[in-house]
Structure 1
Amino acid sequence: MKILVTSKKSYPAPGISSSGPIASAISVTLERPDRIVFSGIQPTGELHLGNYLGAISNWVKLQNEARSNEQVLFSIVGWHALTLPQNPKDLSRSRADMLATLLAFGIDPKRSVVFYQEDNQCHTELSWILSCITPVGQLRRMTTWKSRLATKRNANSESEVDESILNAGLFTYPILQAADILAYRATHVPVGEDQTQHLELARNLADSFNRTFDPKKSFFPLPSQLITPHRRVLSLKDPSSKMSKSSPDVSSRISLTDTTSEIERKIRGAVTDSIQGITYDPVNRPGTSNLLSILAGSVDEDVEQVARRYEGKGHGDLKKDVVEALDGLLKTPRTEFERLRQDKGYLSAVAKEGAEKAKQRTSYTLQEVRRLVGLC
């Protein structure tokens, strides 16, 4: 993995002014890492195989390969979940389950900063300041806003329905997403192509803030999209679309907490085709190719190489091997997840420690932002 290295910087510890007699008398500083990686995940819905192969496995790799001059932060973004209606009890349980899932699948709180977004108020404070320099027109162009609006209009028979039917949080959450990133002055963000537009907004807001309030020094770095190996996992029932935790058909996805029997049932019922033999052809054989891709991801091999092993074999052989590979991949983390979710004291301690580390990083950011905009 290519590492972008720049000169090392440091900044005052939280609560210490960057100038004056106190600063000169206290030499405590927090070293600013050369590379800061930030990413977030919503706590709602059970994570599925696509989430693991497309995101979490890469998070773990980034964590494990991080050097001493790098920092990685992963946030469970509860405020973002509120943009859609939530049952409070379900949301509270989902937050803890998401943390348990991340820990069970390899996120190590000793090597990464993992925390609940809502435990660090710096996110919302910075979001408000950024919202004051964000053009409304830029938010209207966001694909997620337009798609939500289109969905609501299609579901309503009245043609005059307009954007007033959606809540303001759905409209402004890209600003909060930008604040999530900029609060840590992150240099890299591992996101898929579907989030590129949101990252561009974060870059635009960072640039706008710098030009307006700090034209000489440019306080905020412009975060770069971190391209990581990505395996696109498709629905088991409709291989023309991605595997999704929002699909009403639970048989369309492999949840990370599925039992062996559930995995077997779902894979045996997965859509393939009637063509004899096994070949990797995503265009003409999407269902079969999806199973090959899932198998390759589960054993961390090249999919073309995996496909060659099935020359002369049938779908029954492939599905059997996919079940075995998935069960082998998920068995140990699944057991660890069940153990962790019962240990509420440990989860609370991890979340608290992570939040303290997060606030330690962002307190300086907000201190400087307030100074630059004239609030102190």
Structure 2
Amino acid sequence: MAKRRWFHGIAAALCSAALAAQPTGGLTPAAALADDPPALGEPFHTRFLGREIRFPGFDRRRLDAWTLGLTFNFPTPGDRPVDPAGSLYLWRRPDENHLLYGDIALVYNHLFHARSFRDGSPFEWVTTFENYTLPKLQQGELIEGRNDEDGETEWGYVRPGIGLGYRRQVGPAVDNMAAADLIVEPGLLYFGDHAQRFRSPGDTFELRSRLQLRWDGLRRNLLSLPDRGLAFGADGVWGWRANWRDWGVDRRENGHRHYLTGSGYALAALPVPFAGGRHRLIAAVNAGITHHPDRFNRSVTRRLGGGINPLGMDFHTTGFPVIPGAAYLEFFPRHYAIGYGEYRFAPTFFSFVHLYGGTAHLDPIRYRHGKRQRHNTLMPFAGVRLSSGLPGGLLLVVDYAHNFGLKRGRTGYGNQVTVWVSGMF
């Protein structure tokens, strides 16, 4: 069982990393300090340590990037002291009539494609594909940092989609867009081996409809970090299952065939008044709620946890909710709200120091008087992060986060160290 949970941790990390693979801008290792760090992809000319630096820029309409990383959790949640991560990211925006982006991480893949009805039209056809397919691996929940072995089961889904959308430019960058998409997602939700006392809900056809709204007006610097501007968005999902029944240990979970989820986010980046261009303030909020929740009716991006945090780094991943200090995909809450604040300083224009803090409010499962119960919990957090360019056009991120509200066995806190490297092909 320990080996199974170890590989499940790896797979969960791959899923989260897929949502964080980011372009680095082809950064030249030589660097200089500028009052305003250069924008992502734009050419610039400066001097550093007596040397003249020229960067020709690059075309942001076509990007292929990769991410590799490790996350260390302590105290250890379950049997997952280390979560490795790796993924590919692709982006195509050749003109205003086409858009393609995708996350590719073996067991988790997500693709989105949009094509205008006709050239110059803001209305578009949308096709999507998503799968979450862990091969022969039983998955359970972490409760107070311990594996719920009785609730482990093998499960996954395959979910194509088709729909209609509206999209237009709202700024100079290719990812400064306003978009609304209504997508119908017929799919298969399947189950395999499970723990002895666990009753599976059973394989079923699942029909979902998704409404997603996005507005991105962020200017990003040459490391793809949000530099100034605003982004916000919302998602609503209605789902129906053809076959469903009471499930879980001793069938204690209700078998709701219908469910409804809603989530939203907003992020703002702005200079610190009277402090010069090296200083930035970042503020973000994420919130979500589910009617008739269970651990199978959320997409992988709505299971909450820590790890790699792609905060504001591109149009696709800006709204991904992260709880610093928690393990990857540690919680399956019915509702959550996260408030995040960050001060960022640029010692050089290719390196940044981030000091951040905030709190999360959610209802994880906890043990109360020997019983499993959901309990509304505050999880304040604080951390420090270093983002820096490296030779070869690479981006290095080292992040330490401490969460004051986690319960891991006899401790009331959690720590996490994340190291990841990203680059472009």
Would you tell me which structure has more helix in proportion to its own residues? 1
- With the shorter chain as reference, the TM-score category is under 0.3
Would you tell me which structure has more strand in proportion to its own residues? 2
Q: Which has the larger radius of gyration?
A: 1
TM-score under structure 2 length normalisation: 0.22
Q: Which one has more relative contact order, counting CA pairs under 8 Å at least 6 apart?
A: 1
